[in-house]
A = this chain, B = another copy of it.
Amino acid sequence: MPLFMDIHKGMEGLTAQAVAEAHKKDLQKQGKYGVKYLKYWFNEKDGTVFCLSQAPNKEAALKVHDEAHGLHPDEIIEVKEGS
Protein backbone atom coordinates (compact mmCIF):
# COMPACT_ATOMS: atom_id res chain seq x y z
CA MET A 1 0.00 0.00 0.00
CA PRO A 2 1.37 3.48 -0.79
CA LEU A 3 3.12 5.59 1.84
CA PHE A 4 2.47 9.28 2.33
CA MET A 5 4.35 11.99 4.19
CA ASP A 6 2.32 15.01 5.11
CA ILE A 7 3.56 18.30 6.48
CA HIS A 8 1.72 20.73 8.74
CA LYS A 9 3.47 24.07 9.06
CA GLY A 10 3.28 26.96 11.50
CA MET A 11 0.76 25.41 13.87
CA GLU A 12 0.39 27.96 16.64
CA GLY A 13 0.80 26.85 20.24
CA LEU A 14 1.86 23.34 19.25
CA THR A 15 2.78 21.10 22.16
CA ALA A 16 3.94 17.49 22.34
CA GLN A 17 0.71 16.67 24.16
CA ALA A 18 -1.50 18.34 21.56
CA VAL A 19 0.18 16.43 18.73
CA ALA A 20 -0.07 13.17 20.66
CA GLU A 21 -3.80 13.76 21.16
CA ALA A 22 -4.36 14.58 17.50
CA HIS A 23 -2.40 11.46 16.51
CA LYS A 24 -4.52 9.37 18.85
CA LYS A 25 -7.63 10.68 17.10
CA ASP A 26 -6.09 9.70 13.74
CA LEU A 27 -5.60 6.17 15.05
CA GLN A 28 -9.23 6.02 16.12
CA LYS A 29 -10.54 7.11 12.69
CA GLN A 30 -8.05 5.47 10.33
CA GLY A 31 -9.68 2.02 10.16
CA LYS A 32 -12.75 3.48 8.48
CA TYR A 33 -10.61 4.52 5.48
CA GLY A 34 -8.10 1.67 5.40
CA VAL A 35 -5.32 4.00 6.56
CA LYS A 36 -2.49 3.35 9.01
CA TYR A 37 -0.77 6.35 10.55
CA LEU A 38 2.71 5.03 11.26
CA LYS A 39 4.85 7.75 12.79
CA TYR A 40 5.07 11.46 13.31
CA TRP A 41 7.75 14.01 14.05
CA PHE A 42 7.23 17.53 15.30
CA ASN A 43 8.87 20.80 16.26
CA GLU A 44 7.11 22.71 19.02
CA LYS A 45 8.95 25.97 18.35
CA ASP A 46 8.02 26.47 14.71
CA GLY A 47 4.85 24.37 14.79
CA THR A 48 5.86 21.82 12.16
CA VAL A 49 4.47 18.28 12.10
CA PHE A 50 5.39 15.47 9.69
CA CYS A 51 3.06 12.44 9.58
CA LEU A 52 3.93 9.22 7.81
CA SER A 53 0.98 7.05 6.83
CA GLN A 54 0.16 4.03 4.76
CA ALA A 55 -3.03 4.61 2.81
CA PRO A 56 -4.86 3.40 -0.29
CA ASN A 57 -4.55 6.95 -1.67
CA LYS A 58 -3.85 10.57 -0.69
CA GLU A 59 -7.54 11.38 -0.28
CA ALA A 60 -8.04 8.60 2.28
CA ALA A 61 -5.11 9.82 4.37
CA LEU A 62 -6.45 13.37 4.29
CA LYS A 63 -9.97 12.22 5.12
CA VAL A 64 -8.68 10.68 8.37
CA HIS A 65 -7.01 13.96 9.41
CA ASP A 66 -10.10 15.93 8.46
CA GLU A 67 -12.49 13.74 10.43
CA ALA A 68 -10.19 13.09 13.38
CA HIS A 69 -9.25 16.68 14.22
CA GLY A 70 -9.70 18.88 11.16
CA LEU A 71 -5.99 19.70 10.95
CA HIS A 72 -5.41 19.63 7.20
CA PRO A 73 -1.72 19.44 6.21
CA ASP A 74 -0.07 22.06 3.99
CA GLU A 75 1.35 19.31 1.80
CA ILE A 76 1.02 15.57 1.34
CA ILE A 77 3.47 13.65 -0.82
CA GLU A 78 3.43 10.00 -1.85
CA VAL A 79 6.79 8.49 -0.91
CA LYS A 80 8.76 5.29 -1.00
CA GLU A 81 10.94 4.40 1.94
CA GLY A 82 14.63 3.99 1.25
CA SER A 83 16.30 0.85 2.49
Contact = CB atoms under 8 A, between A and B. Distances in A.
Given A48-B77, A50-B50, A77-B46, A41 B83 contact: no
Main secondary structure on A side of the interface with B = strand
Given A5-B50, A50-B5, A50-B50, A43 B80 contact: yes
A82 interface: yes
Q: How many copies does the complex hold?
A: 2
Interface stretch (A16-24, A28-36, A66-74): A16-24
Given A41-B79, A41-B82, A42-B79, 9 more contacts: A5-B41, A20-B82, A20-B83, A39-B82, A40-B81, A43-B77, A43-B79, A46-B77, A48-B77
